[in-house]
Structure 1
């Protein structure tokens, strides 16, 4: 799933490519992907793009009073082109969920929103205000917002009995962090993924806050300026524990371990994060404390 650094990279790239262009056509392969009815999506056609912004994991293309917002969900991605196809898409066929074409002084350009797999969660919204998107309205603070400091994080954690891994992934608590970067942040902070949030003392909260900014900041810097087709590989190449089950931890050399869930998994280093304790697989037993 694209997370804050990749979504920020996409938003920046789209802003550079689309600002000042005119949205010429929006095609939907399935009407299920469109989550709004008013204003109509056809009302975007002919409008000039004034900018592209990120809200958590949402991307918003502004056209001066009406915005095209999309969320790539778990298996979605964006395929950009300088030569958008003119032929109409066939409804319900293939991996393309929507196609958007633009015209500008430098010629045509556009992108397809694609989604692999059979479980379709990619979502498109056409709204007058991005806050009209329920997922955006419910977002917690952005990790790079000026108001988000160690004190705010301490307040968030102190009021929650939730395990820290789940809390970091909750978009209503902190916006933009998902499964991969929560693994990376907790590894950098040397915190067990199943530590209760409110059990962290103030020193540990500061370490976690610093890890959030260092891990996401490094990933943001790596994503900056990269075209969409490179962002996934850039992400994978810099992950230290996530997706690296069975490999040596780059910090201590211990074997990276995995805990599997029904539809996802997390990775961690026992030596760095759990004092050498192996966490039980959630599919077959309860977590070891």
Structure 2
């Protein structure tokens, strides 16, 4: 799933390509991806793109008085296309192509989603806050106003919730998902199941890990085209997606916990005192 660093870099790449360009139309190959009806998608026709922004994991293309907002979900992506789109073939909505943004000269974006579980969402709105997911977002961890005190308030409000769940909760902190929560906790040397009742030293360590992990990922992605971002993300991860490989810090074997619809990875030596986590949803450290 594209998370804050990838969406940040994707917005920067698209901003350079799209700003000042005129939209010819938005072609919906899968009508289910469009989650709004007022204004209609046809209202984008003839508008000029003034910028591209990010809200958490949401991508926001500003065009005239409207916003074309996308959430790429788990398997969505955007591909830049030069020249007119090819003629459609096959049954609409059965392939990975979900929608096409076509510019006045034929260039544009192919918006795709792999797999059979379709969660990609597109919105055409007058204000980004009209998108429910954006309206619910917590503070952005890279905003200048997000301080260690901000994190302290979030943790205090979460009670004894597991720290990985707090990091992934978009209503508490915007933009961090499964992959970067694994990376942040590895850098902070904390168990994913640790309660969010942290000491002052632990909280400072978590804040620094969050800032360094996200900012390092953004720095690595700086200047990359959209087509290069997935490969860069995978190459820069330390534990997420590295099950069975040696930890780059201590050399211990990276372990994983499997849930119904996702997995997470961690290093026992760095994060759980050498003890493996039981592989079930409500697991605790094995005694």
Deviations 1:80-103 (A, max 9, x none): 112231535752231100011113
Q: How far apart, CA to CA, are the structure 2 residues paired with 1:64 and 1:45? A: 10
Match of 1:261 among 256, 259, 262: 259
Cross-structure match for 2:163: 164
Q: How far apart, CA to CA, are the structure 1 residues paired with 2:210 and 2:153? A: 16
Corresponding residue pairs, total: 284
Contact 1:29 1:93 in 2 (8 A): no
Deviations 1:108-151 (A, max 9, x none): 42111111111100000000000000000000000111211001
Cross-structure match for 1:274: 272
Please show how residues 112-191 of structure 1 align to structure 2 within 5 Å.
Answer: 112-160=110-158, 161-191=160-190
Contact 1:281 1:287 in 2 (8 A): no
Cross-structure match for 1:97: 98
TM-score (norm. length: structure 2): 0.96
Q: Pick closer, same or farther for the CA change 1:77–1:150 going to 2, 3 Å.
A: same
Q: How far apart, CA to CA, are the structure 1 residues paired with 2:36 and 2:61? A: 15
Q: Secondary structure at the match of 1:98?
A: strand
List, as ranges, runs of 4+ consecutive aligned residues in structure 1 with deviation greater than 6 Å.
none
Cross-structure match for 1:18: 18
1:63 aligns with 2:88: no
Deviations 1:239-289 (A, max 9, x none): 000000111111011111111101111100111001111100016x73326
Q: How far apart, CA to CA, are the structure 2 residues paired with 1:144 and 1:287? A: 31
Q: Secondary structure at the match of 1:231?
A: helix
Match of 1:219 among 203, 210, 217: 217
Match of 2:285 among 269, 280, 288: 288
Q: Secondary structure at the match of 1:197?
A: coil
Q: Secondary structure at the match of 2:49?
A: coil
TM-score (norm. length: structure 1): 0.95
Structure 2: state its 5+ residue gaps: none
What's the RMSD between the two structures over aligned residues?
1.3
Q: Secondary structure at the match of 1:267?
A: strand
Contact 2:242 2:265 in 1 (8 A): yes
Q: How far apart, CA to CA, are the structure 1 residues paired with 2:187 and 2:84? A: 42
Contact 1:168 1:174 in 2 (8 A): yes
Cross-structure match for 1:204: 202
Structure 1: state its 5+ residue gaps: none
Deviations 1:181-220 (A, max 9, x none): 000000000011000112x111111111111110100100
Q: How far apart, CA to CA, are the structure 2 residues paired with 1:190 and 1:238? A: 18
